[in-house]
Each structure stands twice: as C-alpha cells, then as structure tokens.
Amino acid sequence: MTSTPLSPTSVSSVHKSPRFTLTRGLMYLGLIVAALFFLLPIYLLIVTAFKTPDAINLATTWQLPKFLNWASFSDAWAKVGGNMLNSLFLAVVATAISAMLGSLNGYALSKWKFRGANTLFALMLFGMFIPYQSVLIPLFQFIKSLGLYGNIWGLILAHVVYGIPITTLIFRNFYADVPDALVEAATIDGAGFWGIYAKVIFPISIPGFVVVIIWQFTQVWNEFLFAATLTSSGSQPVTYALSQLAGGQAVSWNLPMAGAILAAIPTLLVYIVLGRYFVRGLLAGSVKG
Amino acid sequence: MKRLSTDRLWAMAVLAPSIILLAVFVYGFIFRTAYTSLTDWGNDPAQAFSLTPIIRFIGLQNYHDLFTSGLNTRFRQDLVSTLFFTIFFIAGCLGLGLAMALLLDRNPKAEGLWRTIFLFPMSLSFIVTGTIWRWMLQPQGGLNQLLHLNPASNGWLTSRDSVWSFDWNKLPLITAVLVALALLWVGWQALRSAQRTRMGVAFGCAALLLLWALVIGPNVKLLPAPELHGFNIAFIGIIIAAIWQMSGYTMALYLAGLRGIPEELREAARVDGANEWNTYRHVIFPLLAPITLSAMIILGHISLKIFDLVFAMTGPDNGPTDVPALLMYITSFRQNALAVGAAIGTVLLLLVAIIIVPYLASQFRSQEGHA
Amino acid sequence: MKKSIKNALVITAALGLTAQALAANKIEIFSWWAGDEGPALAALIKLYEAKYPAVKVDNATVTGGAGTNAKAVLKTRMLGGDPPDSFQAHAGQELTGTWVVANRMEDLTSLYKSEGWNSKFPKAVIDLISYKGGIYSVPVDVHRSNVMWYVPANLKKWGVSVPKTWHEMLTACTTLKAKGVATPLVMGENWTQQMIWESLATGMLGAQGWNNLWNGKLKFTDPKVVATFSMYGNLLDCANKDASGLSWQQATDRMLAGQAAFNIMGDWAAGYMTTTKKLKPGTDFAWSASPSTSGTFIMLADSFGLPKGAKDRTEVINWLKVLGSKQGQDAFNPLKGSIAARTDSDLGKYGAYSQSAANDWKKNTIVGSMVHGAAAPESFTSGFGSINDAFVSNRDAKAAAQASQDLADKSRIGM
C-alpha cells in the first residue's frame, strides 16, 4: 500500500488563509455541482420510496411526498427481509473466514519469504481479476458435486475462495510495514512461526482486520452473479431479491426504491461509520502488489 | 531471516489450503471452461441438460462461429459495445475523479463531508445503483424532467440509435491503420529525441502495416456481407450510472496521490516562476501518471466484466445494451448453448488478461528486484 | 405452539438433518407468475392448501417478462441437480425440446389414466406435451397469442375502424398519424415485439404456412417469409421507439391511455385490464384477432410437470391432480384471463373475453406460438430475439430471413 491515509490534518497547514476569493468561490461551485450529481439520485430514491403507488406519476417525480408512506418499507421488507438475513449470515461468515485466511497468508508471504513467493502471489492475485463468467459453469458443477448446491454454504465457499487474493494482498502489504526487527527479536526469544504470529503479528493486526472486514463485507453483500446462480429460493441474498423486485413489472416504483434503500443500508452504514478504513481497502485493491 | 526450516514449512503449510483452493477455483475452472468451449455441449438439445450428457470435442468451431457466423452478430456488437463502454467509462471516471480530487486538494471547508458525498456510491451494490438510475432515466420522468429534455429525443436506455458505425469486415483494416498511426507517433517522438534505431523500427513497421492495409487489407473479409456495428446511444445512461458509482474511487486515488506530493516540489515550481497551471502541468500531473495507469487498469477490468449494472438497468435481454458477460448468461441458460457460453466466457477472460497480466507482471518484476 | 415448532425446525436444521427428513409436508412450486398474474396462482395454491392443509407451499416465483429470468434460474438449478418440485414450462417444445429429450421429466401417462384426463384435454394440447408415447406435464391454461386490443371510444374519436388485415393496419396507421397519434401501435420489450411478427407471419403465411415453418417444409428464406419481415418493418414505423424499456403492462397502459390505438398482446392482457385495472371488457377495452389471423388461434399453454429427482414427489402428484381438475382450472383461469385447457370447464365463471376465446378455441384452426415455446425449441426462440434486435435497427428483411433459416438449421427444426 503506497497510499497515504487520507488524513487532512497532515496537510491542513499547507494552504492557509481560506479567504473568500473568486477561485475559492469557483471551487465551492464545482463541489456543489459534483455533490448534486451524487445526491440527486438519492433524493429521488428517497422521495419515491416514501410515496404511495398512485402518488407516483411522472409529472410529479421530483416533488416531495404528501405524506410518508412507510408501507413501502414494510412491503419491501416482506419481500427482501429474509434475503437480507441470508446476506448478513453469508457476509459475516464469508468475511470472517477469508479475513483469517488472508491474515495468515499475508504473514507467511511477507515474513517468511521463500523463492518464488512473489510469483506465487501474483498467480494468486490473478484470481481477483477474472470475470466470474469464465468459471461459472465448472464452479456450480463443483459445488453441486460437494452437495452444497442451493445451500448458502456453497455461496460462502465461493466468496471465501475468490476473496482470498484481496484479503491476502491487504494483509501482505500491511505486514510489510511491520519492521523485520520485531520478528527477529521474537526469533531470538525462541518463538517460531506460530509464536511470532500470536505474539507479534496478530496483536497489531487490528487495523488490517478492520480494512479487510469492511472491504470483504461490502463485496460479498453487493455481489450478484453468484447470488443469482448458486442459490435456490431459501438461500438467495438480498441483491438477487432486489433485482427481482425491480426487474419485474415495476409498475409501482416505490417498492423497488424502498428495497434498494433496505439493501443499501448495511454497507452504507459501514461506509459512513468506518469511511477511512473503507478508503484504505479501496486503495489497497489497486496500488502496488 | 534464514531460520529453522520447520517454520518455513509452516509458512508453506499455512499457504497450502489457499493455494490449492485457488488452483482449483481459478486455474482449474478456467481450464475446464476453456475445454468446454471446445466442445459441442448444448448444440444437441437432448444433451444440454441431460444428467449424463454426451459431449464431443469440436476444436475452435465455437470461436469461429462467434466471430464470423451470421447468427452471432450480437456477440460482435457486444464486443464493440464493451470497447466503447470501457473508453467512456474510464475517461469519465478519470476526468471527474481528478476534478473532484483537485477541488478537495484546495482544502475546502468540511472536506470530510464532501469526500463522503463523492465516495458513498462506492459502497453500494451495482444492483442498487442500477435500480436507482433506471428510475432516473425513465424517458418520461427523472432526469428528462429535471433538465427539461424532450422524452421523444432522449429515450436514454430505450434508445435504439447507434453512432460511429463501422463494417465488421473492415475491422482488420481499421486495426492496422490505428496501430500504424500509433507507430508513426512513436517514430515521431523518437525522431525528436534523436533515437535513430527506435525511429527506424517504428517507421518501418508503420510503413509495412500501411502497405498491408492498402494492398491486402481491403480484400480481407470476415463475413460474407457487410455488418455494421457502432456505439449504441442506449449505453450513455449506463455509462453515467457507472461513473456515478466509480468516480469516487478515482477521486480517492488521486487525492491520496496529491497529498503524497511533497509541498517542497510545489514551492520549487513557484519559486521558478511557474504559474499555477504550469505547476500542475509540469510538476503535479506527471507525478499522478502512475496512479492514472493503475486506475485505468482497475476500471478497465471492471468495465469489461460489467454485468450486474446492466442487468439491473435494462434486464437480461435488451439487445442495444447487451454486453458479453450478459450474453454468456443468456446463451448458457436460455439458449442452452453451454459450450458457446463457455467460449464467450473465455473471450471475456482473455480480454481481462490482456489488461491484467502485464500489470501484475510489471508490479512484481519491479518488486522481485529488491525483494 | 407455533413458535416451538419453528424452534424445533431450526434445531433440526442446525443438527444437519437432511432436507428429506422434513420433506413430508412441503412443496416448492416454481413459476414466473408474480405481480398481476399472482392472484391466479394464489387461488390455485389456496385450493391446494384447502385440500392438503398439512403441506407447506413454497411459492417460488421469479419475475421478468415471459419468464426470461425464471428460465435462467431454473436451468442453473436443474444443472445443479436441485430441481424445484414442480415448475412452470410452456407446453410444447419448451417442455419436450429442453427437458423431456434430456430425460429429466417423469412420464405422467399413468396419472392421466387414473384421473381420466385423456378425454378431458383436447388432443391438440396432449400432443404438445407428449414425446415418444409418454405424456410429460399437466396443462393448466390456454392462452391466445394473436389478439389485438383497443379502446373502442378512442377508435371512434379518431374515426378508424378495427383493421381486418395487415394492409388495413398500415392504412389505419397513416390515418392515425395524421390525427396526431404518433405511435398507433404500441409495443414493449423484445419478446412482445416478436409476438407481433408471430401474428404477422401467421396472418401472411396462413396457418398451414406457419406450421410448415416449424416442420421444415417452408424455408425462412422463401420470398413469402421475407415479405413478412418487410411488412414487420413497415409496422415498426407505426410503433413507439422506446419499446425496449416497456414491460408489456406498460405498453398496454399506453394503449389504454390513448397514446396508442392498438396493442398486440397475448390474452393475459385481458386479465390485467379486468383484474388489476378494473376495466369493463367490451366497453373500456375491446379486442379482435390480430389482423389477417381471424379463424386462427395461436395458442400457448402453461403446464407443470414432475422433474425426475423431485424431493417431494407425492406432494407434486397431488398438486398436479389439483391443477388438472375442473375445480382447479376454473379457479385459476378466470383470474389469469386464460381459458381452461380442459374442455368441460364451467364457462359461467369466466369473463366476457374468455367466453369469446373459449368459443374461438373450439372453432378455430389451432397453431402453436413460437415466442412462447409451443412451436419452436428454446434455442430458436432465444436466438430469434437477437435476430429481432438486429432487424429493428437495420431493417434488412433478407438478412433477417437468412439468419432465421440458419438458426432453424442450428436448432434442428424440421430434422
């Protein structure tokens, strides 16, 4: 991770004196225009979700609802609620397993380098870029032969495996910043592979885990292709349920909109509360293997 | 760190499960799909969904059909669409992301709030984004109303118009000319920096390509009849939605890059009498170039794989906004042509690999050096 | 009490007992009937639940016009060896050409015998669901594909009469455009456009010609078939440009709202207009056979079968018995806007449209729908969607005909 965490404090001393000048005015104008681009769809999402089906007509698309129709949400919950619980279970379990694997892999790759470790790692990383269409049919044949087809564990397995590259990448880079001297010191104390992991590495891994967990949770929660093909009706996650809610006749738009809000809330909350770590996960996925 | 080999063995043992899983789930399955794409699975309906299908090896026939058969115009249009989509999507994300990063770099008040606003779509699912934008882009509502656009001429997702059409038969010709032009540019640069060999090679290859394009190229025919492919206007809405979702990502990358530029460099430029624009042009932008490259590669592979967003916005079966990833889905599961679906999946993989493999290789070659 | 049962279920599931242990009292019914078609299915399920109160019905619907999405899901499940207990499939090639030939369905001949259904369903329908001497599904309804809908008051206002032939349709189109109706014919997403071609081809080729397309006696490259594409091109000029973004309901809505004069759509539209829109058939909306096809009934039928390896076989057979019963068909069809596949249904329970359709069903020449899987296998139907897309943008009738023939050869039609 070459990234510097986005900490405003480190640079706030630089351009001082934010006096109001023309350029600063233009800057704020630019920011406002950009913010409108990002927020208008959300405004429309929310007002539509709160309208009753007959109050949604194209002429009054942008107007506020006359009253708040909470029924949209209870109706949407009735259709996607069970799937949200599926998603929650799926995302929590898959994230926990792949984070643990990633931490161990990252430790092994960064602190116990062996010949060809980098090549091996590059081969592992390739797995996070492949289009899943190119493995889809063998994947579900395999999952079927394991007897996990249509079962949420099959989906968990897929997410864990395809999550290994990114979690390994993030931990490997995270541990690369841990001074080797610390490891050396522990070796001199007689600690071996597991001893060092338990005493030196794991205790300082919390930020790494936070980044990985947020990233992986968001990815698993938002994933669609596996969700649509590896599950049957009892185990479908929320993205699939939402696509159904929105993909059908779609005459009453309040329902898919309310569903979209429900499906978005968990990841959005994670993002707003732990935004900085989220950004670090983002950057980790792209910069410097 | 040369230590007891038991610890080293532990390291390998810890890695082993992940390596085995990835070997199977990535390389094994890719191999399997590639093999399936060389068979006739699904061409005989009786075998498609049989529990014990009889599958024959037919070599590259499926690929040959995809690129030349009259029944696969959709696949070829999808390739063209993906290319256009990728170009506009990357350009849009880079442009908007850089603009937002530059604005935020000027330390506005409540910077954290602005950043949160620009970045939150990244945390959403493409399905959520697609659902929202599908509603925004209804011809009679949403965006058209907001901007007072005429629904009849701004059908967004429902448009069937296409621009910049070209004949698929001319594809080799167009490619040759484009590559020749690129080589000419390389040669011109070499000429200016007086690198004689490079100039010679570049001009020589360009000349050969152009000669081929003039003499042989026009007679190359992939298809019996001309077949037009272009940029489908219906994609514009999907591109906007994709930029909406992903430009925060480039913003974050650029902002991290900008914050990483030492203030002394900017100072030095200022001392040299450079105005703001020149500082950006000669100091800052060159330093951001590697970030731009990374972003292009990451965004590029996302756009080649795009599936969920299109599925949510225009459904699984809308010709004008079709992409290869969706076509694979439809071909396999609706048309029951499982081998052809595998071939489409493999083509998709190759496209991604063209972008990703050199990237990974370069990342790790430079690392292997000082590792 | 209920809670403790639920807990018990959770615990058994947690103990890892197989699904079979719990299977004695559940059934999963897989269909694409949600939204406006939902109530009809619900009525049927209600009837089933009344008869078998101990069975828990899992109504697994996957939405999306004409079942496009449902088919993808169904296939992944069948490939995954996890068949739904009973799934919806159009009677005809969609059932036989995909599932029966692959040996995935159970032969229901004995059920037909024990229920005495052989004399209750018309032979034309039984033929569609038969393959090499076996019968493989139970049809629940019959729909008509070639129906044209309009609002009589609107036509009167615009001063046009209902076109009897496609040429009259073109004339009406010109008149309507002059009167300010920009899109006299409204159509929706891809498959609804194909239905227009289906009506058109049947009208121009005649019932026998249409059948000959599917038994290989008439080639798509025949000038007569090329002419159907040319005519289709003319019709597209009368239609809305934003079709691909409209569901069939939204297209029907436009016709009702007077933004268009005609809508060619299967007769499920009658169910939508009467049940959902609460409109009065005959006055608020009216219908005729689509131009040039009067006397021909392009049919499609939904049917349910018993996949091999279904987890709840007994429940499925009971479900099929309910489906095939007179009571079941008369509970389902009036709400769905379809007519019963059985010939002995109680017409008094049906709406005005269905009574007229039932009448036509008895008198007309019956042919199968291509779009809805009766006449052509899925490999053809799916590929035809792309041909339609290509034609809509390039309007090249010859190329479309040639591509159709290539597709027919590839799908082994007439072989």
- Specify if B131 maps to a domain: yes
CB contact under 8 A, B334 and C71: yes
Question: Which token pair is A283?
Answer: 């950057």
Q: Which of A149, A229, A250 sits opposite C81 (nearest CB)?
A: A149
- DSSP class of residue B10 equals H
For chain A, the average pLDDT equals: 83
Segment B16-22 shows an average pLDDT of 94
Shortest Cα–Cα distance, A81 to chain B (Å): 15
In which domain, by residue range, is A149 found?
71-284
Residue C207 binned pLDDT confidence (cut-offs 50, 70, 90): very high
Q: Over the stretch B104-154, which tens digit does the pLDDT of each residue have?
A: 998 888 888 999 899 899 889 998 999 899 888 887 778 888 888 887 777
Statement to judge: residues B322 and B251 lie in one domain: yes
Q: Over the stretch A236-269, which tens digit does the pLDDT of each residue have?
A: 889 888 887 765 554 578 888 899 999 999 999 8
Residue A7 has pLDDT above 50, yes or no: no
Shortest Cα–Cα distance, A102 to chain B (Å): 9
Statement to judge: residues B268 and B136 lie in one domain: yes
Burial of B228 (0-12, 13-18, 19+ CB in 10 A): middle
For chain C, the average pLDDT equals: 87
Q: Over the stretch C372-397, which tens digit does the pLDDT of each residue have?
A: 989 999 889 988 988 998 898 889 99
- Specify if A64 maps to a domain: no
CB contact under 8 A, B319 and C386: yes
Q: Would you state the pLDDT for residue A66?
A: 82
Q: Which residue of A has its CA nearest to B117?
A: A35
Residue C3 binned pLDDT confidence (cut-offs 50, 70, 90): very low
Residue C1 binned pLDDT confidence (cut-offs 50, 70, 90): very low
Residue C64 binned pLDDT confidence (cut-offs 50, 70, 90): low
Q: Would you state the pLDDT for residue C63?
A: 66
Q: Which residue of B has its CA nearest to C246?
A: B158
Q: Which of C190, C379, C393 sits opposite B318 (nearest CB)?
A: C190
Q: Over the stretch B55-106, which tens digit does the pLDDT of each residue have?
A: 899 999 999 999 988 888 899 999 999 999 999 999 999 999 999 999 999 8
CB contact under 8 A, C79 and A232: no
Segment C171-188 shows an average pLDDT of 93
Q: How many CB pairs under 8 A join A and C?
A: 59
Which residue type does C272 have?
A: Y
Interface residue of B131, B297, B306, B311 to substitute, partner A, most A CBs within 10 Å: B131
CB contact under 8 A, B124 and A275: no
Q: Which residue has the higher pLDDT, B219 or C155?
A: C155
Shortest Cα–Cα distance, B234 to chain A (Å): 18
Residue A1 binned pLDDT confidence (cut-offs 50, 70, 90): very low
Which residue type does C6 have?
A: K
- Specify if A35 maps to a domain: no
For B307, C124, C145, C247, the CA distances from C364, given in Å and listed in that order, are 45, 12, 13, 29
C70 interaction partners in chain A (CB closer than 8 Å): none
- Specify if A41 maps to a domain: no
- Specify if B188 maps to a domain: no
For chain B, the average pLDDT equals: 87
Measured at the alpha carbon of residue A16, what is the angle toward residues A10 and A20, in degrees to the nearest 5?
A: 135
- Specify if B62 maps to a domain: no
- DSSP class of residue B371 equals -
Whether residue B360 contacts residue B347, with contact meaning beta carbons closer than 8 Å, is answered with no
Domain count for chain B:
2
Q: Which residue of C has its CA nearest to B313?
A: C245
Q: Which of C81, C382, C410 sits opposite B330 (nearest CB)?
A: C382
Residue A275 has pLDDT above 80, yes or no: no
Shortest Cα–Cα distance, C117 to chain A (Å): 32
Statement to judge: residues B20 and B110 lie in one domain: no
Which domain CATH number covers B261?
Answer: 1.10.3720.10
- Specify if A241 maps to a domain: yes
Q: Would you state the pLDDT for residue B362?
A: 82
Alpha helices of chain A — where are they, by DSSP H? 22-49, 71-111, 117-126, 136-145, 152-176, 180-188, 193-196, 206-222, 225-229, 238-247, 254-273, 275-284
CB contact under 8 A, B45 and C377: yes
Statement to judge: residues B364 and B278 lie in one domain: yes
Query: d(Cα C204, Cα C292) in Å, to the nearest integer?
Result: 7
Shortest Cα–Cα distance, B223 to chain A (Å): 27
Interface residue of A17, A31, A109 to substitute, partner B, most B CBs within 10 Å: A31
- Specify if B148 maps to a domain: yes
- Specify if B177 maps to a domain: no
Q: Which residue of A has its CA nearest to B347?
A: A134
Statement to judge: residues B255 and B333 lie in one domain: yes
Number of other CB atoms surrounding residue C53 within 10 Å: 9
C neighbour chains, 3+ CB pairs within 8 Å: A, B
Q: Which residue of B has its CA nearest to C407?
A: B71
- Specify if B180 maps to a domain: no
Q: Would you state the pLDDT for residue A285?
A: 59
Q: Would you state the pLDDT for residue C244?
A: 82
Q: Would you state the pLDDT for residue C394?
A: 84
Q: Would you state the pLDDT for residue C19?
A: 41
CB contact under 8 A, B335 and C383: yes
Q: Would you state the pLDDT for residue C39?
A: 84
Q: Over the stretch A122-146, which tens digit does the pLDDT of each residue have?
A: 999 999 899 998 998 889 888 888 8
Q: Does A158 touch chain C (CB under 8 A)?
A: no
Q: Does A78 touch chain C (CB under 8 A)?
A: no
Interface residue of B161, B307, B308, B335 to substitute, partner C, most C CBs within 10 Å: B335
CB contact under 8 A, B348 and A134: yes
Question: Which one of A55-59, A209-213, B129-133, C232-236 scores highest in mean pLDDT?
Answer: C232-236
Q: Which of A31, A223, A243 sits opposite B312 (nearest CB)?
A: A243
- Specify if B352 maps to a domain: yes
- Specify if A19 maps to a domain: no
Q: Which residue of B has its CA nearest to A244?
A: B312
Q: Which residue of A has its CA nearest to B240?
A: A37
Q: Over the stretch C244-271, which tens digit does the pLDDT of each residue have?
A: 878 888 899 999 999 999 999 998 888 8
Query: d(Cα C305, Cα B118) in Å, to the nearest integer?
Result: 52
CB contact under 8 A, A193 and B111: no
Query: d(Cα A39, Cα A32) in Å, to the nearest integer?
Result: 10
- Specify if A33 maps to a domain: no
Residue C189 binned pLDDT confidence (cut-offs 50, 70, 90): confident
**Residue keyed to tokens 């972003």:** B295
Q: Over the stretch B326-364, which tens digit does the pLDDT of each residue have?
A: 999 888 888 889 999 999 999 999 999 988 888 888 877
- DSSP class of residue B57 equals B
Nearest to C62 by CA among C88, C34, C28: C34
Q: Over the stretch B241-283, which tens digit does the pLDDT of each residue have?
A: 999 999 998 999 999 889 888 888 888 888 888 787 888 888 8
CB contact under 8 A, A289 and B360: yes
Shortest Cα–Cα distance, B13 to chain A (Å): 9
Residue C147 has pLDDT above 70, yes or no: yes
String of DSSP letters for B14-39: HHHHHHHHHIIIIIIHHHHHHHHTTB
Q: Which of A8, A58, A112 sits opposite B140 (nearest CB)?
A: A58
- DSSP class of residue A203 equals G
In which domain, by residue range, is B301 found?
78-161+233-370
Residue A64 has pLDDT above 70, yes or no: yes
CB contact under 8 A, B225 and C69: no
Q: Would you state the pLDDT for residue C206?
A: 94
Q: Over the stretch B43-59, which tens digit does the pLDDT of each residue have?
A: 888 888 888 888 899 99
Q: Which of B147-161, B315-329, B342-356, C302-316 has the lowest mean pLDDT?
A: B147-161
Element (H, E) at B243: helix B235-259
Measured at the alpha carbon of residue A215, what is the angle toward residues A106 and B364, in degrees to the nearest 5?
A: 40
Whether residue B263 contacts residue B109, with contact meaning beta carbons closer than 8 Å, is answered with no
Q: Which residue of A has its CA nearest to B291?
A: A287
Q: Over the stretch C87-141, which tens digit does the pLDDT of each residue have?
A: 999 999 999 999 999 999 999 999 999 999 999 998 888 988 999 999 999 999 9
Residue A228 has pLDDT above 50, yes or no: yes
Domain count for chain A:
1
- Specify if B108 maps to a domain: yes
Which domain CATH number covers A163?
Answer: 1.10.3720.10
Number of other CB atoms surrounding residue C21 within 10 Å: 10
Residue A273 binned pLDDT confidence (cut-offs 50, 70, 90): confident
Statement to judge: residues B25 and B120 lie in one domain: no
Q: Which of A210-214, C5-9, C78-82, C208-212 has the lowest mean pLDDT?
A: C5-9
Q: Which domains does chain C have, with CATH numbers?
A: 22-141+304-361 (3.40.190.10), 144-299+367-410 (3.40.190.10)
